[in-house]
Structure 1
Amino acid sequence: MPSFSFLRTLRVSLFPPYPPIAIPTATLHSQPHSHHHHHDAVASFNRMLLMRPPPPTFHFNNILSSLVNNKHYPTVISLFKQFEPNGITPDLCTLSILINCFCHLTHITFAFSVLANILKRGYHPNAITLNTLIKGLCFCGEIKRALYFHDKVVAQGFQLDQVSYGTLINGLCKAGETKAVTRLLRKLEGHSVKPDVVMYTTIIHCLCKNKRVGDACDVYSEMIVKGISPNVFTYTTLIHGLCIMGKMKEAFSLLNEMKLKNINPSVCTFNILIDALGKEGKMKEAKIVLAMMMKACIKPNVVTYNSLIDGYFLVNEVKHAKYVFHSMAQRGVTPDVQCYTIMIDGLCKKKMVDEAMSLFEEMKHKNMFPNIVTYTSLIDGLCKNHHLERAIALCKKMKEQGIQPNIYSYTILLDALCKGGRLENAKQFFQHLLVKGYHLNVRTYNVMINGLCKAGLFGDVMDLKSKMEGKGCMPNAITFKTIICALLEKDENDKAEKFLREMIARGLLEV
């Protein structure tokens, strides 16, 4: 039997020193208790407390588990305090539930103090208890401590299961520790626990997310060689990675492989392919995938329609985009905020601002709240179609609705002021952004520099370029090209040549 003495040492080395189990005050009041289930569960718990003799501990555990399932972690911690004063002895299950609650609330120190309590009572931590602690450490970003805990546990002869390793692999992947994941997989080769499809899929997802699709394909090949069959999630993850890299041929090869292996693609699998084809402007192919989807008896969802609408706007097929949007309701799919935003953005780009505004008003009538992207798309459309005052009014309305415009929204307005012959207003607005402490990006500076260049205010341009660099925002190729072109137009050839040399010296222009 494994020794438990090491755990006492381990808990001190991980989080010294451990206090006795205590309930943080903020934890007890961190969630509103409004659900009927919550009230019923607490009432049942309190009734059981009054019974003499009290019911077996597992009855109390069932109530605590149901509260955990509904994410009422503070309530569970509060109820636990009533165990021993009422003559109820918590068992290993009770204490594991408590550990789970502390982990979800990121109180890892308290979770390990419960582990100390488990050992003090002479209980033997099982895989569920240890898995919960590993998951808690990973959840809080304590990946190195999770690995250390794993190594010590294994060294003492404890048997961890696939959930343990799946949790560790997931945590390592989220932290970008792909080398550590590989080492962990190699360690598993000598253990009774073998890598499974979930572990491999997690690694493939991580690699695809970091655009290391080649490595992901190698991992996929490795799992095939080891006789581990990929599932729909494995294929969907890899197809997504290939689509991101523009490798559509390989993505469709995997789709065909799924059919040969009698693995049914999910709505997510088809949506990924439709979206990728739409972004490439291949709407005929996207419609073929949609037909395949329907043939497979998989109902398109709002994500499917959003991808189609976006794709049709991209290839200037506005009528098709509008048709898809208006036909959604007939097919039992309700357009969401993103759907309206795609429509508004697409219509604005096609100078159909009035229709875009009409959809914006429709959102309000449907109690649908536009987000910052919706507002910014509409502001951009109004500005580019010479409705600057309406754009300014919309920006004010946006703030009234509690949505703070970002620097991208403000840059659009700044650009419109400069191009609309209102340079003084633009300068005041730009200064306001600086005073308010907004983190101005190179695009914002370029818009202001372009406005000053058009007005021939080269002294102001030099000052702004100097301030820009002083704030750590380095000019890019557009900055230099804007200044050089403006100087050439004013026959300031020597100054233009000087900027050209600086541009070359900074590596912004290949000679």
Structure 2
Amino acid sequence: MSTVVRRVAASAALASASGFHHSHLSARLRFSSSVSYRERLRDGFGISDIDEAVDVFDQMARSSPLPSVVDFNRLLSAMAEMRRYDVVISRCKMMEMIGVPHDICTLNILINCFCRSSQVAMGFSILGKIMKLGCEPNMITFNILINGLSLQGRIHETVAVVDWMVENGFQPDLVAYGAIVKGICKLGDSALALDVLTEMEERHDDVHVVFYSSIIDCLCKGGLVDDAVDLFSRMYDRGVHPNVITYNTLINGLCSSGRLNDASRLLNDMIQRKIKPNVVTFTRLLGGFVKEWKLVEAKELYDQMIHMGLVPDTFMYTSLIDGLCIQKRLDEAKEIFESMVALGYPLTTVTFNALIKGYCKDGRMDEGMKLLSEMPRRGVVADIYTYNSLVEGFFRAGDLKAVQMLFQEMQFLGLSPDLITHTILLDGLFKTGRVEEALELYDEMQNSGMDLDIVVHTTMIRGLCVDEKVEEAFQLFKRLLLGKGAEPNVRTYTIMISGLCRKGLLGEARRLFRDMKEAKCFPDGHTYNELIRGHMRHGSTSEVVELIREMRSCGFSADKCTMSLNTDVMREGRFEKGFMDLFS
């Protein structure tokens, strides 16, 4: 910006500020001279009228006789609604100084302002003052304090407050329980939420559906879908009728756990009970069917939705595009995308990202880049997820120049690489043989203060194993077991077992396999197949037979690589002819 422009801008700002000050001062003078505080209290205040509210307080403080505490409370409440808690707190002190005693309403307002400004301890000190003065705190007092603790995530303290209330003859109402349940569910402690719900049911007959819906959501997010279904049934037993939000929450939980048939039955139950599904209901189910390749069911569901007069929204179309891309049905996904454009639906970054990711995973990088260039024309801004998909795709294609270009573009746009970007880069460097750069990047990530997740460490272990640095990979794995990093998952164990097997370290691989099960990280089909192949290459027949039987008893089967290796070893005569029968 040039000097002249800066000077003009500064002059304009000064003139504007001067004009505002003059007009604001004039308004205050007109107000103070012509309008009584009673009229102003009756008229109310806007959300930003704090200066006028302070003027009213000053006028009230100068009045003789002084206004009643009720009038002061009305003014303090208006200030609190403006979220100027600091002003309310200071004016409460002034009230006492001019001789206006606080009543329970004033003190409740004061407690609320302390809680809202993250000073819950001061709120409790006011509670102590209430009792010291011989006043009786009411349910509003306790509800404000409980809500204040819940807002700070201090859930166990809120439960302790409720217990104290009961012991001292106070009956917690549903507002108090509502604040507690909301806070507990936010923390994801479904067991405690259920305990509180049981207590609510014992003390109140009219527990609202909102409480049940919140806890069902908490259970589903924690993977406890069976418990969520049980709670849904318990609602009916108590005569509490679920609403569309309750149904949507449980349908979402069932779909997330792959129980699409149960989710469909719940949709039918919903319709039979005259509770009309909305687009959200159908979107989750439809996306689930598409991802599971159940296209006939998806089409029937779509037709049912249209028949009910519901109009698909952008989110539903995006879910369909995402599901089709997962199935690599990219041409159909593009058709839906183009239909959205033709019908005038607003395209979002998420919509573009779903299709770009699909193209990148399928190696169709030119089409992915065309979509990237189309985004600005559609008024859509690319985000870090857009570039992550493209970077990963170009790494997979071995086009390092394109990767470099994308990173320069990200820098130009002010997009900071996130943990996923770094993980993609780490994986890409290993896969393109730039091992030293990968090791350097991993060190930088560790020293940067990033909270590295297990995906990063697993990528590192895999890269080291592929580069035949199995000992270094195993050392890193052991550090993870010692708690120096994220906890290994089944993929981490499987990759490490595979690396040890390829190195011929079968004893270490078997020990790690046992440790894995002891750590309650149960092996999957990939783990068994890697270990079986390792023993087929280097081990004895008896160990292979034992592993195959164990694998089959767990419901897993040999994959193509294992069957191919089995054919090779049979041809070489290392195993008996009947050995093949173990796999069938």
Give me the TM-score of the superposition, normalised by structure 1: 0.78
Q: Out of 313, 324, 339, which is 2:325 matched to?
A: 313
Identify the residue that residue 155 of structure 1 maps to in structure 2. Answer: 167
> Do the aligned residues in 1 keep the contact of 2:464 with 2:472 (CA within 8 Å)?
no
SS state at 2:203 partner: coil
Identify the residue that residue 480 of structure 1 maps to in structure 2. Answer: 497
Q: Out of 142, 151, 171, which is 1:139 matched to?
A: 151
Identify the residue that residue 15 of structure 1 maps to in structure 2. Answer: none
> Do the aligned residues in 2 keep the contact of 1:169 with 1:181 (CA within 8 Å)?
yes
* Further displaced range: 245-254 or 421-430: 421-430
Residue 307 of structure 1 and its aligned partner are, at CA, apart by 0.7
Cα 1:304–1:82 change in 2 (3 A) is farther
Cα 1:396–1:128 change in 2 (3 A) is farther
> Do the aligned residues in 2 keep the contact of 1:49 with 1:86 (CA within 8 Å)?
no
Q: Out of 344, 351, 361, which is 1:349 matched to?
A: 361
Q: Deviations over 1:152-178 (max 9, x none)?
A: 212332233222222223333444544
Q: Deviations over 1:238-285 (max 9, x none)?
A: 212221222222212221222222112233222222232233233443
Residue 310 of structure 1 and its aligned partner are, at CA, apart by 0.5
Output the CA distance in 2 between the equivalents of 1:87 and 1:396: 67
Show the 5 A alignment for 1:19-38.
37-38=46-47
Q: Deviations over 1:356-401 (max 9, x none)?
A: 2333344456665433322211211221222222213323543555
Residue 94 of structure 1 and its aligned partner are, at CA, apart by 4.0
Residue 150 of structure 1 and its aligned partner are, at CA, apart by 1.0
> Do the aligned residues in 1 keep the contact of 2:365 with 2:394 (CA within 8 Å)?
yes
Say whether residues 1:108 and 2:125 are aligned partners. Answer: no
SS state at 1:381 partner: helix
Cα 1:190–1:444 change in 2 (3 A) is closer
Identify the residue that residue 218 of structure 1 maps to in structure 2. Answer: 230
Output the CA distance in 2 between the equivalents of 1:366 and 1:44: 46
Say whether residues 1:360 and 2:360 are aligned partners. Answer: no
Output the CA distance in 2 between the equivalents of 1:442 and 1:326: 38
> Do the aligned residues in 2 keep the contact of 1:41 with 1:63 (CA within 8 Å)?
no
Q: Out of 186, 205, 210, which is 2:217 matched to?
A: 205
Identify the residue that residue 170 of structure 1 maps to in structure 2. Answer: 182
Cα 1:373–1:83 change in 2 (3 A) is farther
Cα 1:424–1:171 change in 2 (3 A) is closer
> Do the aligned residues in 1 keep the contact of 2:321 with 2:354 (CA within 8 Å)?
yes
Q: Deviations over 1:64-107 (max 9, x none)?
A: 55665565555554565555556666554443333333323332
Identify the residue that residue 478 of structure 2 maps to in structure 1. Answer: 469
Residue 200 of structure 1 and its aligned partner are, at CA, apart by 2.3
- Judging by fraction of residues, say which structure has more helix: 2
Identify the residue that residue 293 of structure 2 maps to in structure 1. Answer: 281
SS state at 1:230 partner: coil
Output the CA distance in 1 between the equivalents of 2:51 and 2:479: 60
Q: Deviations over 1:311-367 (max 9, x none)?
A: 121222323322333333554542222222212212212323233233334445666
> Do the aligned residues in 1 keep the contact of 2:347 with 2:378 (CA within 8 Å)?
no
Say whether residues 1:326 and 2:343 are aligned partners. Answer: no
Output the CA distance in 1 between the equivalents of 2:338 and 2:67: 59
Identify the residue that residue 48 of structure 2 maps to in structure 1. Answer: 39
> Do the aligned residues in 1 keep the contact of 2:194 with 2:215 (CA within 8 Å)?
no
Residue 430 of structure 1 and its aligned partner are, at CA, apart by 4.2
Unaligned segments of structure 1, at least 5 residues: 1-35, 488-494
Output the CA distance in 1 between the equivalents of 2:197 and 2:450: 46
* Further displaced range: 443-452 or 381-390: 443-452
Give % identity: 34
> Do the aligned residues in 1 keep the contact of 2:247 with 2:266 (CA within 8 Å)?
yes
Output the CA distance in 1 between the equivalents of 2:453 and 2:376: 32
Cα 1:295–1:138 change in 2 (3 A) is same
Say whether residues 1:50 and 2:59 are aligned partners. Answer: yes
Output the CA distance in 2 between the equivalents of 1:339 and 1:204: 29
Cα 1:146–1:337 change in 2 (3 A) is same
> Do the aligned residues in 1 keep the contact of 2:291 with 2:324 (CA within 8 Å)?
no
Say whether residues 1:236 and 2:253 are aligned partners. Answer: no
> Do the aligned residues in 2 keep the contact of 1:204 with 1:238 (CA within 8 Å)?
yes
Say whether residues 1:380 and 2:392 are aligned partners. Answer: yes
Output the CA distance in 2 between the equivalents of 1:382 and 1:57: 71
Say whether residues 1:417 and 2:426 are aligned partners. Answer: no
Residue 438 of structure 1 and its aligned partner are, at CA, apart by 5.1
Cα 1:118–1:415 change in 2 (3 A) is same
Residue 109 of structure 1 and its aligned partner are, at CA, apart by 0.5
Output the CA distance in 2 between the equivalents of 1:344 and 1:64: 54
Cα 1:369–1:79 change in 2 (3 A) is farther
Give me the TM-score of the superposition, normalised by structure 2: 0.69
* Further displaced range: 345-354 or 290-299: 290-299
One-letter amino acid of the counterpart of residue 466, structure 1: Q
* Further displaced range: 419-428 or 434-443: 434-443
Output the CA distance in 2 between the equivalents of 1:41 and 1:204: 42
> Do the aligned residues in 2 keep the contact of 1:48 with 1:55 (CA within 8 Å)?
no
Cα 1:65–1:265 change in 2 (3 A) is farther
One-letter amino acid of the counterpart of residue 347, structure 1: Y
Identify the residue that residue 128 of structure 1 maps to in structure 2. Answer: 140
Identify the residue that residue 250 of structure 1 maps to in structure 2. Answer: 262
Q: Deviations over 1:397-431 (max 9, x none)?
A: 43555544234322322333333344444444445
Query: Does 1 or 2 have the higher relative contact order (CA < 8 Å, sep 6+)?
Result: 1
One-letter amino acid of the counterpart of residue 114, structure 1: I
Identify the residue that residue 281 of structure 2 maps to in structure 1. Answer: 269
Output the CA distance in 2 between the equivalents of 1:180 and 1:440: 30
Output the CA distance in 2 between the equivalents of 1:313 and 1:357: 16
Output the CA distance in 1 between the equivalents of 2:352 and 2:68: 55
Cα 1:358–1:48 change in 2 (3 A) is farther
> Do the aligned residues in 2 keep the contact of 1:450 with 1:483 (CA within 8 Å)?
no
Residue 224 of structure 1 and its aligned partner are, at CA, apart by 1.2
Output the CA distance in 2 between the equivalents of 1:188 and 1:445: 45
One-letter amino acid of the counterpart of residue 481, structure 1: S
Show the 5 A alignment for 1:43-122.
43-47=52-56, 49-51=58-60, 52=63, 65=77, 73-74=85-86, 76-77=88-89, 80=92, 83-84=95-96, 91-119=103-131
